[in-house]
Amino acid sequence: MFEDYRGVWVFIEQNEGEIEGVSLELLGAGRKLADKLSVPLSGVLLGLEIKELCPEIISYGADQVFVVDHAVLKDYRTESYMKGVILLAEKYKPEIFLYGATPNGKDLASAVATDLSTGLTADTTMLDVDLDNRLLEASRPAFGGNIMATILCKKHRPQMGTVRPKVMKALEKDNSRIGKIIEEEIFLQEEDMRTKVLKIVKDVTKKARLTDAHVVVAGGKGMGDLQGFQLIHELAETIGATVGGTRDVVEAGWLPHEQQVGQTGETITPKIYFAIGISGAIQHIVGMKNSEFIIAINKDPNAPIFDVATYGIVGDAMEIVPRLIEQFKVLQKEKGGEVSYV
Amino acid sequence: MHIVVCVKQVPDTKIIKINPKTNTLDRRSAPAILNPYDAHAVQEAVKIKKMIGEGTISVLSMGPPQATAVIKKSIEIGADRGYLISDRAFAGADTLATSYALSKALERISKEQKIDLVICGLHAIDGDTGQVGPGIARRLDIPPITNVIEVTEFNKKEKTVLLKRKIANGYQLIEAQYPCLLTVGKEINEIEYSPMPNMIKAARYEPIIWTVNDLENVDRPQLGLKGSPTIVGKMFTPPKPEGGKKLDGNADEQVAQLIALLEDKKELLFANH
Amino acid sequence: MSEKFDVIVVGAGPAGTSCAYTCAKNGLKVLQIERGEYPGSKNVMGGVLYRQQMEEIIPEFWKEAPLERPVIEQRFWMMDKESAVTFGYKGLEWGMEPYNNFTVLRAPFDQWFAKKGVEQGVLLVNETVVLECIVENGKVVGVRTDRPDGEVYADVVVLADGVNSLLGKQLGFHKEFRPDEVALTVMEVINLSKDKINDRFNLEENQGCTIEIFGDSTKGNLGTAFIYTNKESINIGVGTTLSSMIKAKLKPYDLLDYLKTHPMVRPLMEGGESLEYLAHLIPEGGYHSVPKVAGNGVLLVGDAAQLVNAIHREGSNMAMKSGKMAAEAIIEAKNRNDFSESSLNKYREALYDSFIMKDLEKYKDAAHVFEHYPQYFNEYVPMINRAASKFFTVDGTSKKDKQKQIMRSITGERGKLKVIQDMFRAWKAVK
Ligand SMILES: Cc1cc2nc3c(=O)[nH]c(=O)nc-3n(C[C@H](O)[C@H](O)[C@H](O)COP(=O)(O)OP(=O)(O)OC[C@H]3O[C@@H](n4cnc5c(N)ncnc54)[C@H](O)[C@@H]3O)c2cc1C
Ligand SMILES: Cc1cc2nc3c(=O)[nH]c(=O)nc-3n(C[C@H](O)[C@H](O)[C@H](O)COP(=O)(O)OP(=O)(O)OC[C@H]3O[C@@H](n4cnc5c(N)ncnc54)[C@H](O)[C@@H]3O)c2cc1C
Ligand SMILES: Nc1ncnc2c1ncn2[C@@H]1O[C@H](COP(=O)(O)O)[C@@H](O)[C@H]1O
């Protein structure tokens, strides 16, 4: 009954001509699914004057790109974008359709799923297919992250899911790849739109966004109090890192919400992650476990944070961190005058 | 101005416990609360009503009979009335079936008093999907604006509302025609401490309860479990990663080892971003 | 102008809810105000609920109330460092209707009970703290809460705000406690499977037991410890008067830790996971410290009126009974439309006529005696243990000689006359 539905699709989210990282990650994940199912992988790109992005999409793994280029699609709006996506999906019938779980991706996917009367799995962190039934197995944290649930959509097509940023891996960019570009016309009129984007205001205050930082020093409730938490800031400053924290720390008011790492905060993959006085609750771990090099400092040898740490120090942060700061300062001097602070 | 806020009763996932043997929720450990985002949604409706100087706030929930508790909670915050749709036919709904049932209830409410604005929480902390709000908007054919962080201004003559919508690295300033549907997070406002008369009103309040028969033009196969395209295949505990190496010695020795290990990452450290 | 009620009840513990329930059932307009997130959210109790007084309010409540287990066995331990002399009573008839007592967890129980009140028409407002009574012309006319527009008015205000009744103090009905008038009790709820509980306590399905422990449970200080079995958890707690705690420089939690790791207790708790930890005061001043319980437009019930029998650890039953009697006095006062002190004093009369004040009078000197003569706890209990050990050890000595030796050692240790004096004093205190 679903023979008409073939192919794996990824919605390519672009903001002002720049492709979101999660879309490239999804091309990587989608490639695997498409190969398993022996079907092409397609990117779906909407916007105004965005055609030059197509080669990039192909170089990250797509076999073809569907493009809808229209003035009304200049800025993201649910009403206009969903029209384009639905048009494509109804015409070309993909069996699997993935979106990044960003504010726009979630918004779009929810609206599209409603119109297509199909299932949508939110915030997926693991993807697989059951080849026999060509069934997408989308797994996601449930009950506040204490457990994983695999969600299936047996009787409807396409099978849709939004996928969390930073959990899938993008392929190496390969400029030698070739693919097809399929342009689609759409009839849209600005007068029909009930929402208007008057302007876009970028957050200029951003220091280093947590999600972009290479080195993160994160502290937990184990720092004792606001004053104890100053050690985290001090260490971060010494090594030029960005500060992060657990939800408990944010709720205690030691850090603003933007600095929270974890399920209800940011998912990050820095090169180095310090977890200090953090117990390692599952909701925290899902936000940082893919960091390259994780150093945990905790006085409880059984703290679960040690399970994900590359190196662990069992000890009192109040003793360890000041020594670390001291040693780093020595190291920094050795490194010489290359250091500059803003 | 008639504002309807959709509110859901959820288990408090902060204190939730999972039975490791059966992989199910230990209900005893999870008191039911008003979805925290929905509390902000109701508070925003109260703010809007104050801002424009008039209006009626209704809340709507779908759930078992005990879900009247979240309607009362909403009255405490300042809602004027509340509807609960409760029927076995609704049970087991995923987001698609939920948005269908809620949209049917909204149609009925709209007959009693025309709806100008629907507000939903950004997501419910149990399902964490954030799909129901946009789903409702599609079914009612009104524009959804998700992730609203500020409701700035109403223009009653033009029937438009000015909003700020959060995006990845900033916000969009949006002008939307209403009726429309907003979803809101926690940044949008602070929940105020409810005045005593609201508390007494809530204690006394009897929500309006509808079954599926009270709704019109309902296509029953779209409801509940039957109307839900997604099903839960299996539940499992995420595989536990193996830990790395623990450094030994006293504090000084541990720190010295760590510094040595970080030698080759020096160029990452002290580099500014 | 804010709404006026017939009755405002402050607090949704057993005392407040009994009162609110009874008033509403008789057609009065009742507002009940509780500071917790829900009734029971902040309440601590070892966990024995007595059937009688509860049944006077809701007949056959056991058919629907969230109870843990009917108590079919009550044990007493006189515990020393590595031994305990135990006795008790187990009766299967207690496991059948109409039952004797039940173990309960306060959070679900108080919520259920309060809901029964709401069903009778009580308006229950949670998460709201009553800051003070509003007094006009020497009469309490309402309360002020911590909320915006927070004043509410009523003919009668019932203070059921528990042991530390700040509101009672504000009205000058009672003073700050003396440290010897209150016990500080700490308690933990420990998760344990049904099977383990049944095995370790020798129980079957839907049977519960209570253990009261004297002696080394408090390191010899005035006070007692208890272990109660719930469905799938155990309540363990220990309390001593604030004064002995200060005297012995004890920290409450240390005492509980000491108890939990005591070799006599540890095997019962083994493998359990701590669910919650609670600390609470119990008024133990008894008869002498019961304050004025009725004033113009105001009544005090339950712990707020210091109605606790420390020796038998009865409190919730007195709370319920007093709440009900207060309600009855209010209903009469309403009929007379007279809420003056003399009209409300009907409650005081009923209280002094009931088992509550009679029981409290009977034990009126007990706490005092035990407080001033610590030998009951730190000498006799070990002595009894040594005696029992000697008596039950088979070593070739005749039983008769053993008894002689035991008597000699007891009187030898403390002196014959002293022993007789102690016994007499103790007997007088509890007779
Ligand atoms: C739905 C849901 C979503 C959530 N989302 C998130 C999220 O996004 N991010 C998040 O972080 N949490 C989240 N949580 C909360 C999470 O479950 C934990 O409660 C939280 O991560 C714990 O924070 P913590 O490690 O700082 O504190 P704790 O768990 O209290 O741990 C403190 C640690 O510090 C150690 N310590 C104490 N003193 C010292 C010392 N002197 N030196 C060294 N170590 C010391 C202790 O041994 C302990 O391990 C969420 C929970 C739920 C239910
Ligand atoms: C460890 C322990 C073990 C016990 N064991 C037993 C036992 O086994 N059996 C037994 O019968 N009794 C026992 N008791 C005694 C029993 O718990 C009390 O006697 C009984 O709870 C008294 O009921 P109450 O309604 O007077 O007060 P409480 O139960 O204390 O209720 C007072 C209520 O008032 C609320 N409140 C207080 N101030 C305000 C305010 N200003 N505004 C609004 N609300 C307010 C509180 O939140 C609380 O809910 C025990 C006590 C303790 C501490
Ligand atoms: N059963 C329900 N009853 C009322 N509103 C709901 C229900 N389920 C979801 N909602 C609304 O939709 C929002 C998002 O929910 P979800 O899509 O489940 O994350 C919630 O914050 C509510 O406003």
pLDDT recorded at residue C289:
75
How many residues are there in chain B?
273
- B231 lies in some domain: no
Q: What angle do CA B67, B73, B75 make, to 5 degrees?
A: 115
The answer to whether A306 contacts B246, with C-beta atoms less than 8 Å apart, is yes
The residue among A303, A314, A207 whose CA lies nearest residue A259 is A207
Matching residue, tokens 């992989």: B23
What's the gap in Å between the CA of C122 and the closest CA on chain B? 9
Domain final position from C353, C386, C404: C353
Its sign, for the CA torsion C249, C252, C254, C257, is positive
Output the CA–CA distances (angstroms, integers) from residue C72 to A285, B268, C47, C69, C101, in the order listed: 48, 69, 14, 9, 8
Provide, as residue numbers in chain B, all residues whose Cβ is less than 8 Å from the Cβ of A341. 272
Average pLDDT rounded to a whole number, residues A260-278: 91
Residues A108-154: tens digit of each pLDDT: 999 999 999 999 999 999 999 999 999 999 999 887 666 889 999 99
Residues C129 and C154 in one domain: yes
pLDDT of residue B104: 98
Cβ atoms of residues A125 and A163 within 8 Å: yes
C56-103 pLDDT, tens digit per residue, is 999 999 999 999 999 999 998 988 888 888 889 999 999 998 899 999
C117 and C58 fall within a common domain:
yes
C51, C123: one domain: yes
% of residues, chain C, pLDDT over 90? 51
Indicate the residue among C283, C300, C326 that finishes a domain. C283
Over residues C152-184, the pLDDT tens digits come to 999 999 999 988 888 999 999 887 777 777 778
If you average pLDDT over every residue of chain C, what do you get?
A: 87
pLDDT digits (tens, 9 = 90+) for B104-123: 999 999 999 999 999 999 99
Q: Are C225 and C240 in contact (CB under 8 A)?
A: no
- Are residue C33 and residue C125 in the same domain, yes or no? yes
The model's pLDDT over C26-48, given as tens digits with 9 standing for 90+, comes to 999 999 999 998 998 877 666 88
Give the position of tokens 């830990």.
B243
- Provide the CATH number for the domain around residue B158: 3.40.50.620
**Sign of the CA dihedral C255, C259, C263, C264?**
positive
In whole angstroms, give the CA distance from residue B12 to residue B20. 18
Which of these, C219, C198, C312, lies nearest to C261 by C-alpha position? Answer: C219
Total structural domains within chain B: 1
Residue C196 sits in a domain whose CATH number is: 3.30.9.10
Can you give the residue range of the structural domain that contains B168?
A: 2-222
Interface membership of A290 toward B (CB under 8 Å): no
Cα–ligand 1 centroid distance for A290 (angstroms):
18
Nearest-angstrom CA–CA distance, C299 and A125: 60
Partner-chain contact B135 A113, CB within 8 Å: yes
In B, which residues are within 8 Å of C128 by CB distance?
A: 196, 199
Q: Is A128 near ligand 1, meaning CB less than 6 Å away?
A: no
Question: Are residue C331 and residue C403 in the same domain, yes or no?
Answer: no
The DSSP code for C379 is: I
Look at the block and give the residue holding tokens 């693991």: A126
Is C362 a domain residue?
no
Are B200 and C145 in contact (CB < 8 Å)? no
What percentage of residues in chain B have a pLDDT greater than 70?
Answer: 90
- Report if residue C234 sits inside a domain: yes
* B96 within domain boundaries: yes
Among A27-36, A138-147, B13-22, C278-287, which stretch is predicted with the lowest mean pLDDT?
Answer: B13-22
pLDDT tens-digit profile of A152-167?
999 999 999 999 888 8
Q: How far apart are CA C364 and CA C316, in angstroms?
A: 19
Residue C339 has pLDDT above 60, yes or no: yes
Distance, CA A280 to ligand 1 centroid (Å)?
Answer: 6
**Could you tell me if residue C73 is inside a domain?**
no
Would you say the CB of residue A144 lies under 6 angstroms from ligand 1? Answer: yes
CB contact under 8 A, C149 and B197: yes
Each residue's pLDDT tens digit, B121-135: 999 988 889 999 999
Q: Which of C233, C261, C283 is the last residue of a domain?
A: C283
Query: Do C28 and C138 fall into the same domain?
Result: yes
Single pTM value for the model: 0.82
- Is 60 exceeded by the pLDDT of residue B207? yes
Q: What is the pLDDT of residues A201-233, one digit of tens each?
A: 987 654 557 887 889 999 999 999 999 999 999
Distance in angstroms (rounded) separating the CA atoms of residues C171 and C135: 9
Question: What are B183's two structure tokens?
Answer: 């979803």
Whether residue B195 and residue C148 make contact (CB cut-off 8 A), yes or no, is: yes
Does A81 score more than 90 pLDDT?
yes
| Least confident stretch, A30-39, A179-188, B60-69, C213-222 | C213-222
* Nearest ligand, CA A314: 1
Contact A142 B139 (CB under 8 A): no
The band of B73, judged by pLDDT with boundaries at 50, 70 and 90, is very high
Query: Ligand 1 atom 4: the closest Cα is on which residue?
Result: A283
Residue C228 identity (one-letter amino acid): Y
Q: What is the pLDDT of residue C428?
A: 62
Report the alpha-carbon distance of residue A299 to residue A282 in Å, rounded: 19
Does residue C9 fall inside a structural domain? yes
Q: Is there a contact between C206 and C248 (Cβ–Cβ < 8 Å)?
A: no
Say yes or no: C156 and C303 in one domain: yes
Q: Does a structural domain hold residue C197?
A: yes
Q: Which of C357, C312, C354 shows the shortest CA–CA distance to C329? A: C354
Whether residue C77 is contained in a domain is answered as: no
Q: Given pLDDT bands bounded at 50, 70 and 90, which one contains residue B22?
A: low
In terms of domains, do C162 and C191 share one?
no
Closest CA to A22 of A116, A101, A81: A101
Full domain range(s) for residue C371: 367-430
Tell me how crowded residue A270 is: count the other CB atoms within 10 A of its CB: 26
Q: Are C61 and C143 found together in one domain?
A: yes
Q: Does the pLDDT at position A265 exceed 60? A: yes
What letter does residue A40 receive in the DSSP assignment? -
CB-based touch A/B (3+ pairs, under 8 A)? yes
Is residue C255 one of the residues assigned to a domain? Answer: yes
Gap between the Cα atoms of A297 and A277, Å rounded: 6
Ligand 3 centre to CA of B123 (Å) is 7
- If one compares C128 and B235, the residue with the highest pLDDT of the two is C128
Cβ contact B200–C123 (<8 Å): yes
pLDDT digits (tens, 9 = 90+) for C239-275: 887 887 788 787 777 888 888 989 999 999 998 888 7
Whether A273 and chain B come into contact, CB under 8 Å, resolves to no
What is the reported pLDDT for A206? Answer: 47
**Structure token pair of residue C386:** 């040594």
Q: What is the pLDDT of residue A340?
A: 38
Q: Is the ipTM of this complex over 0.90?
A: no
Chain B closest-CA separation from residue A315 CA (Å): 7
Q: B19: pLDDT confidence band, cut at 50, 70 and 90?
A: low
Same domain, C164 and C235: no
Query: So what's the pLDDT on residue A266?
Result: 87
HSE, side-chain direction, 13 A CA sphere, residue C296: 8
Residue B28 predicted with pLDDT over 60: no
Please give the pLDDT value at position C313: 66
Q: How far is the CA of C112 from the centre of ligand 3 (A)?
A: 28
Q: Is residue C57 part of a domain?
A: yes
Structure tokens at C287: 């008869």
Return the pLDDT at B191: 93
Cα of C347 vs centre of ligand 2, distance in Å, is 20
Spatial distance between the Cα atoms of C211 and C231, rounded to a whole number of angstroms: 16
For testing contact with chain B, the best of A95, A147, A238 (most B CBs within 10 A): A147
Provide the terminal-to-terminal Cα distance of chain B, rounded to the nearest Å.
48
What mean pLDDT comes out for the span B61-82?
Answer: 97
Q: Is the domain of C8 the same as that of C119? A: yes
Q: Chain-wide mean pLDDT for chain A?
A: 91
Q: Rounded mean pLDDT of C355-366?
A: 77
Check pocket membership of B68 for ligand 3, CB cut-off 6 A. Answer: no
Which pLDDT does position B25 carry in this prediction?
Answer: 61
- Euclidean distance between CA atoms A224 and A321, whole angstroms: 13
Is residue B229 a part of any domain in this protein? Answer: no
- Name the pLDDT band for C362 (thresholds 50, 70, 90): confident
How many structural domains compose chain C? 3
Same domain, residue pair C40 and C142: yes
Q: How confident is the model at residue A337 (pLDDT cuts 50, 70, 90)?
A: very low
C-chain residues within 8 Å CB-CB of B197? 2-3, 149
Q: Kindly write down the DSSP assignment for every residue of B78-98, as one continuous string.
A: T-SEEEEE--GGGTT--HHHH
The model's pLDDT over C386-430, given as tens digits with 9 standing for 90+, comes to 877 877 788 888 878 877 887 777 777 767 767 667 666 666 655
Among the residue ranges B49-63, C203-217, C395-409, the one predicted with the least confidence is C395-409
CA distance A310 to chain B (A): 4
Rounded-to-integer distance, Cα B151 and Cα B163, Å: 5
